[in-house]
Structure 1
Amino acid sequence: MPLGEALLVIAAGLILLTAAAIWRSFRRQHTEQLRRRYGEEYARVLAAAASRSRGEPAASMRNSHPSAVRIRPVVPTEAASIQREWAEITNHFSHHPEEALRRADQLIGRIMTMRGFSTGDSRQRYEDLTVDHGVAAQLYRAAHDVVLRLERGAASQDDMRRAMQHYERVVDELLRADVRAAPSVPAPKGDRSQRGFSPRQAAARS
C-alpha cells in the first residue's frame, strides 16, 4: 500500500476512534443526568424497557412532554384557596379519613390541571410529576395506591395516615416553588395548620 493511502487509513481510524470515545462520554453524561434527575423512576423505566437504549429515550420523552403544554405558577389567590381547602380536608380526616383521603387525591388533580399539566389519569399525573418533581411523583404514586386499595377495603388506618402525609408534601411541592407571597389564610375553626398537620395526631385527638 502506498504511504499516502496508509496515512489516510490511519487518519480515518483515528477519527473513528475519537468519535466513538466522544459518543461514549456523551452517553455516560446523559445517563448520569437522567439518573440524578429521575432517581428510582430512571431504574423503573429502564427495567420496563429491558434495555438502556430503549429506556433512556423513554425517560427523555418524559422530560419533553410537559413542555408541550404551558405549565404556569399558582397565583397567590389560588394558593390561598388551595391552602384553605387543604386545612378543611385535614380537619375532616379526624372523623372521616376515607372521604378526606379521596378529597386530597382530587385536590392534587385540580392543582395540576390549574397549573396546566395534561388532564389525564393518575398515571399521566405521575409521569408529568417525574419531570421536575421526582420526589413528589413517588409520594403521589404511593398515596394514590392507598386510595385504590381503599376502594377494595384493603387500606388500614396507618396506610391512610401515611397517604395523607404524602399528599401534604405533594401539595407543598406544587405550591412552594412558584408562590412567593401568598396571603395568609384564615384557618377554619379548630384547624391544625397545613404545615404542622399530622394525620396520626388528628386521629389521636378525635
Structure 2
Amino acid sequence: MSPTLVIVLIVVVLLVIAGVVYAVRASRRKQLQTKFGPEYDRVVGDADSRAAGERELQERQKRVAQFELRALPAEAKARYSVAWEEVQIQFVDAPAEAVSTADELVTRLIEERGYPTGGYDDQLANLSVQHATTLEHYRDAHAISERSKNGDAETEDLRQALVHYRALFADLLGENPVRSEGAVAPDSEPKVPSQKINDHDPDVAGSRPDATSR
C-alpha cells in the first residue's frame, strides 16, 4: 500500500469519526433542548460554555433518576385540592399570608412527590428535569414571595404569585387543583378578585396540555 493511499485512508477514518462525534453531540443536544425547553437556554447561557451547560443538565438527569419519585393516589390529590381552595379563600382577607401558605403547600407537595426539599436552587435544578415547563412560574412566585416578606409586594403582585404557584402546583399534582365550570384564555388579563381567586384567573391548564379541570 502506497504512502499516499495510507494518508487518504487515515483522513477518511478521521472524517468518519468526526461525523459520528458530531451526530452524537447533535442528537444529545436536541434531546436536552426538547427535555428542558427554555431551561436549556438559561443553563447554557449561564455556563462558561455550551458543553459545560449541557453537562450540568445531564448531571441533573442522573441525579433525579436516583430519586424515588412517586405519583399521588387519588386521596392525596383530593386533599391537596381542598388545601389549595382554602389558600384561595384565605387570599381574600390575608393576601400575604395566603402566598406564604401557598409556598409551604407547594414545598410539601414537592416533598411528597419524592423530591428533596433543601435549598431553593436545588429544588429548581431537580424540578427542571420533569417540570421544566412550569419552572419559570415557580421562579416568579418565589421572587414575589421574597418581596412580600419585606413588605414590598402589592395585592396585585400577590395575586400573580398565587397564579404562578398554582401553575407548578397543578403540574406536580397532575390536574387543575381548582374545580371550575369554564376557563378564560391564558392570555387574558385577570382582575383582582372581590371574593376569591377563581376561574376568572387565567387557567394554568392553558400552560400544560395534559392538565384538566376537575
1:127-165 CA distance string (max 9 Å, x none): 111101112211111101110111122212111111111
- TM-score normalized with structure 2 length: 0.81
Is 1:104 matched with 2:102? yes
2:211 match: none
**Among residues 6, 14, 17, which one is paired with 2:15 in the alignment?**
17
CA shift, 1:90, in A, is 0.7
The 5 A counterparts of 1:66-77 are: 66-77=64-75
Preserved contact between residue 159 and residue 192 of structure 2 (Cα < 8 Å)? no
Deviations 1:8-43 (A, max 9, x none): 322121111011011112212222222222222211
Q: Which has the higher contact order (CA 8 A, sep 6+)?
A: 1
CA distance in 1, matches of 2:156, 2:27: 41
| Structure 1: runs of 5+ lacking an equivalent | 178-192
Determine which structure has the larger helix proportion and give its number.
1
Match of 1:30 among 28, 31, 37: 28
One-letter amino acid of the counterpart of residue 178, structure 2: Q
Alignment match, 1:205: 195
- 1:121 positional shift: 2.0
Any idea what the Cα deviations from partners look like across 1:46-102, whole Å, max 9, x if unmatched?
122121121110011112221111101111121111111111111101110101100
Tell me, in whole angstroms, the C-alpha distance in 2 between the residues paired with 1:53 and 1:172.
Answer: 33
Q: State the TM-score, normalizing by the size of structure 1.
A: 0.83
CA positional deviation for 1:6: 3.0
Is there any run of 5+ residues in structure 2 with no aligned partner, and where?
185-189, 197-214
- Of the three residues 159, 163, 178, the one matched with 1:194 is 178
Preserved CA contact (<8 Å) 1:140 1:170: yes
Contact 1:113 1:119 in 2 (8 A): yes
Q: Percent identity?
A: 28
Provide the aligned length of Structure 1 versus Structure 2: 189
Deviation at 1:195, TM superposition (A): 4.4
CA distance in structure 1 between the partners assigned to 2:153 and 2:121 by the alignment: 20
